[in-house]
Amino acid sequence: MLCRQKIISWSLRSRIQSNGNVVECRQKPQTSRSLVYNQAYNPTWYYTGKQAVFDGKKAIRGGIPFVFPQFGAWTFGPPHGFARIVRWNVEKSPERLPSGDVEAIFSIMDSEFTRSMWNYPFKLTYRLILREKELHFNIGVYNPSKDHTFSFNLLLHTYFKVPDVRRCQITGLHGCTFIDKTRDNQIFQEGRDVVTVCEWTDRIYQNTQPEHIITNVVSGRKMRVQKYNFPDTVVWNPWQEKARDIPDFGDDEFPNMICVESGHVSSPVILLPGTAFEASQILQGGPTSHVTAGNNTNSLLPVSSTSGTVWPTSTGWLYMPPPPPPPPPPPPPPSSTPSTHSSRLHGHCIAQTCTICSLNL
């Protein structure tokens, strides 16, 4: 992730130093933050290509690239959108909370550069929370326009590092339909309880379960992925034949990575003026005995309720009130029927004939 005047490199293996129970996240110029080491944050869990480029002009091959506002090829800009290559603002530097968690907030807004490809005002907020055994990603997209609706795709392109991708198992995809990009975008249904990858794979699974368990059979370690408002899961590995076509991807690196990506890509998000979209993901890593299913779903819920939504901004938190209640229904017509028929007495008569007694008035 590129940040204005600073390089925030929590996901970049070459810029992370680990010593005992501390991971140091270095920032330029000459500043650093020390974060408590945990298994979800462990750099050995995330793949970064040996030939990855860190020039600030091209998306980094590894870590967790941020796909927005377009998934895949794009006529108006780079593949997977511009969020992977623009500089992000640091709204809140890494800070330890009273709970012991470490929080940081980043954002991007529309600029001349983004409007040259996607001519809409927007604000995209990325809130990271580092817990003892978990890494949380809370994402918000806000449409500040008063007049214009826009649509977008959103995806966290997570690269997991594995000893042998052929012995990696993924749960939470059984029964889901998927778009197979290796077979001319044909649609199939997944019949396996546990998905394995043994060939070039590029699939968009639709309406997936809110949780996936990724198991490295060789080591016995597991990674749990929980997601909110991400209906799709992309599974990708270029295999040998496609790895040769990727300039920053080594020909022999495909066995040691698997992408399991939470996203909203098979259909776009449509955002009305003045509204916001929220999504989140939690990664929990560790030995088999330390990863359990379904004990953290409440933390995936957005910071909102019937009383309104709290939205992070560079100056604090923006309160977004709930929509106004619907107007009350009109009062019922009079139920009494006077003995003398006249248009003056009959409030229910809107023509020259009384619809109740069929008398001409």
Q: Is residue 295 part of a domain?
A: no
Q: What is the pLDDT of residue 219?
A: 79
Question: What's the longest Cα–Cα distance across the chain?
Answer: 96
CA distance 276 to 299: 19
Which H helix or E strand runs over 240?
A: helix 239-243
CATH of the domain at 269: 2.70.98.10
Q: Is residue 237 part of a domain?
A: yes
The residue range of the domain holding 78 is 13-286
Q: Is residue 293 part of a domain?
A: no
Per-residue pLDDT of 73-111, as tens digits, reads 899 988 889 998 888 999 999 999 999 999 999 999 999
From the list 336, 335, 341, 340, the residue with the least C-alpha distance to 354 is 341
Number of domains in the chain: 1
Q: Is residue 146 part of a domain?
A: yes
pTM confidence score: 0.70
Residues annotated catalytic, as ranges: 157, 261
From the list 115, 91, 117, the residue with the least C-alpha distance to 103 is 91
The answer to whether 130 and 102 have CB atoms below 8 angstroms apart is yes
Q: Is residue 359 part of a domain?
A: no
Q: Is residue 197 part of a domain?
A: yes
Per-residue pLDDT of 202-241, as tens digits, reads 999 999 999 999 998 777 889 999 999 999 999 999 888 8
Q: Is residue 114 part of a domain?
A: yes
List of the chain residues with pLDDT < 50: 2-41, 288-289, 292-322, 338-361
Q: What is the pLDDT of residue 309?
A: 39
Q: How many CB atoms lie within 10 A of CB 220?
A: 10
DSSP symbol at 299: G
Q: Which two tokens stand for residue 203?
A: 């699939």
Q: Is residue 108 part of a domain?
A: yes
